[in-house]
Amino acid sequence: MNRTDRLYAIVEELRAISPRLRTARDLAARHGVSVRTVERDISALQQSGVPIYADVGRRGGYALEKSMSLPPLNFTAAEAVALAVAIARGGDGPFAQAGQSALRKILAAMSAQSADAARQLADRVRILEGPEDIAPIPIPPEVEQAVLARRVLRLDYLDRSGTYSTREVEPVALLHGSNGWYLLAWCLLRDEPRNFRLDRIKAIELTDRVGTERTIEMCRPAEPVHEVRMISLG
C-alpha cells in the first residue's frame, strides 16, 4: 500500500469507529508501518484539514471528530474523477489547495469500494502538457485570504505602462480574463475601483484591517477584462 492509499485508509478507519479511539500502535500494525510513520501520516492529515484529534494518556489514541465528518457519500467513481479533473485543470484558480483538501475529504467519506473504483478510473484519465504549455501562476494566498475575509492588501504594483506604485486596496472579487487572473479592488489611493493583474503584483502584504463590503455590480472595472462566468454551487 502506498502512502496516499494508507492516508485514505486511516481516515476511513477512524471515521468508521468514531468517536472511539485507535492508537498509533494499532494503526501501525494494521498498515505494516512504524508508529513514527503513522504519527507523520496523522500530522499530514491534520495539516490538510482532516479533523483528527489526539487523546493523550495510557489509553489514548486518535479519533475523527464526528460532528466534522461526512457520512458515507453516494458519489460514483465517474463523479469523483470529474471533480478531480476540474480541480487539476483549475490549478491556477482561487482556493486550489482548498479544492484538493475537499476532494480528499470526499474520497474519505465514500465507501471503500467506490473510492477504490474512483482511484482506478483516475489512473485512466490523464492531462497532457505540451512543451509550449506555460506553467500557471498560482494565486497568492494573501489574495485568497483577502477576498475570503475582506482584508485590506498593501501592494507594490507595476501597471501596464510600466509605472511602479505602492497602494492599499480593498478586495472585491477575483476575475478571469485573457491575461489570467485579476483582483478587482477598491483602490484607496485613487478612491475608485481598479483591476490588478496578479502577475504584475511585485510584493504583497495582508493587513489586519477589514475593508468595506462591495459587490462586483457596485464596481465597474477601470481596465477592460472578460469576467469569468458565475460560479454555481448547484
Tell the CATH topology of 141-218: SH3 type barrels. (2.30.30)
Ranking 71-75, 93-97, 180-184, 226-230 by mean pLDDT, the lowest is 226-230
Position 227 confidence tier, pLDDT thresholds 50, 70, 90: very low
CB 51 within 8 A of CB 69: yes
Q: What is the pLDDT of residues 104-155, one digit of tens each?
A: 878 877 777 888 888 888 888 877 666 655 666 788 889 999 998 899 999 9
Question: Which residues is 175 bridged to in the sheet?
Answer: 182
Q: Domain limits of the chain?
A: 3-67, 77-122, 141-218
Q: How far is CA 1 from CA 32, 37, 63, 77, in A?
A: 9, 13, 22, 20
* Whole-structure pTM value: 0.59
Q: What is the pLDDT of residues 29-46, one digit of tens each?
A: 988 899 999 999 999 888
Position 156 confidence tier, pLDDT thresholds 50, 70, 90: very high
Cis peptide before 140 (omega within 30 of 0): no
All cell numbers assigned to 143? 489574495
Q: 141-218: same fold as 3-67?
A: no
Q: The domain 3-67 is classified under which CATH number: 3.30.70.20, 3.30.530.20, 1.10.10.10, 1.10.150.120? A: 1.10.10.10
pLDDT of 92 > 50? The answer is: yes
All cell numbers assigned to 3? 502512502
Position 234 confidence tier, pLDDT thresholds 50, 70, 90: very low
Burial class (CB in 10 A: 0-12, 13-18, 19+), 30: middle
- Say which residues have a Cβ less than 8 Å from residue 143's Cβ, sequence separation at least 6: 94, 153, 171, 174, 183, 198, 204
